Amino acid sequence: MDPLKLRRVLLILFLGFVGWPMLLIGAGGLGSCRFPAVYNFGDSNSDTGGISAAFNVIESPNGMTFFGHPSGRACDGRLIVDFIAEKLKFPYLNAYLDSVGTNFRHGANFATGGSSIRPGGYSPFHLGLQVSQFIQFKSRTTYLYNRLQSNNRTNIPIKSSIARPQEFSKALYMFDIAQNDLSYGFQHSSEEQVRASIPDILNTFSEAVQQVYKEGGRYFWVHNTGPVGCLPFSILDNHRPGNIDSIGCVKSANEVAQELNRQLKNLLVKLRKELPLARITLIDMYSAKYLLVSKAKTEGFLSPVSFCCGSFHGFHLNCGKKEVVNGTVYENNACKDPSKHISWDGIHYSEAANLWIADHILNGSFSDPPLPIDKACQAL
């Protein structure tokens, strides 16, 4: 080969080896993704004030461990979504429905307690409505930002609480929802009917993801459904002999959750092909939570069937509420040390449990593909 041509080939190869990684780093490929914002959709497992703003305020002793007062969370302290915010160095996400003191500069939380993927469950704020709220939020934010910018003739900084329109396509979109589709189904129909409803539940979920994608969303962080059969409320309400597994969870309920998760995984494989610009990470919350329950005592927790606040007398009585049942008054106050309990109130996890789970999922140990959250933009 001509020496000049050879030198050109070698130069091209050199630039390929050196330049390509630099391009990846610039796009978040090999370095941190540096998401500018997070938008979350879900139920009470990630609700930071939505249901409290819309309906009844979540009262004390909720919030007692970390915030020192009720914070709109059904927990004694922080939720997994709060630990995600801390990991990404963001403020805690404000609820979209909360009209007082909200800051949406780095995202918003559309999750509300009781929400399900399909309409008709415990809450009117099903996933489709949450996505509609996001679309409205994005449209109104873009209009307001552009209006402020066009009227800003003195170069005064744009209000810091407003999201930046150009950052919607760079944000991380999180989904933590489906538990109530199962729980509501178990209460109002047979397990066979709930199992048969899974394809429709996931078809509705798929439509929601595709809507966010059409709005420019590219990075998705999806939690599968936890072991609903390991919630104290499910265990105490179980009336079938032989339906408890080796660690004390309701087998039949967990089998339905596992089937939903199996089909969810297949759906996300399909969506990765149909949405070529999307980067979708699936988080195996089921395995992480089941592991915690199975290791409860060695991790310093009491029996998984115990919970800190509220009570169970054939049905669940709310944490912090004074209630009269058959002439008996139940105070339903909190225990002295919530950190010893995996469950806060029989349905929701304690802050200590949420921290344990967050520590185990954010490093990529339970992710598909196996990437930590700050590298989720690389997911294929």
CATH of residue 155's domain is: 3.40.50.1110
pTM of the model: 0.90
Residue 314 has pLDDT above 90, yes or no: no
Give the pLDDT band (50/70/90) at residue 150.
confident
Output the CA torsion 238→242→248→251 (10° steps).
Answer: -80
Residue 195 covered by a domain: yes
pLDDT at 13: 44
Domain assignment present for 272:
yes
**Alpha-helical segments (H) within 119-190:** 127-151, 179-188
User: How many other CB atoms sit within 10 Å of the CB of residue 4?
Assistant: 8
Degrees to nearest 5, angle at CA 45 with 125 and 199: 65
For the cut 70, the answer to whether the pLDDT of residue 27 exceeds it is no
Query: For position 224, what pLDDT does the model report?
Result: 98
Residue 323 lies in a domain: no
Region of poorest pLDDT, from 4-8, 30-34, 110-114, 252-256: 4-8
Q: 244 by DSSP, 3-state: which? A: strand
The residues near 270 (Cβ < 8 Å, ≥ 6 apart) are: none
Please check whether residue 114 lies inside any domain of the structure.
yes
- And the tokens for 85? 């915010």
Token digits for 237?
A: 């309400």
Q: Give 3-state DSSP helix, strand, coil % of the chain, rounded to 5.
A: 45, 10, 45
In whole angstroms, what is the distance from residue 122 CA to residue 126 CA? 9
Residue 21 domain flag: no
What residues are annotated to the active site?
A: 44, 345, 348
How much of the chain, in percent, has pLDDT values that exceed 90?
79
Listed residue (113, 168, 116, 115) closest to 138, CA to CA: 168
User: Is residue 141 predicted with pLDDT exceeding 80?
Assistant: yes
User: How much is the average pLDDT of 244-255?
Assistant: 97
Q: Which range has the worst mean pLDDT, 110-119, 263-272, 328-337? A: 328-337
In a domain? residue 333 = no
Structure tokens at 188: 């109002």
Query: Does 348 have pLDDT greater than 70?
Result: yes
Q: Which domain, by its residues, includes 86?
A: 34-294+349-378
Q: How many domains does the chain have?
A: 1
Q: Residues 183-237: pLDDT tens digits?
A: 999 999 999 999 999 999 999 999 999 999 999 999 999 999 999 999 999 999 9
> Is position 331 within any domain?
no
Name the burial class of residue 147, with classes exposed (0-12), middle (13-18) and buried (19+) by CB atoms within 10 angstroms of its CB.
Answer: exposed
Please indicate, yes or no, if residue 26 is contained in any of the structural domains: no
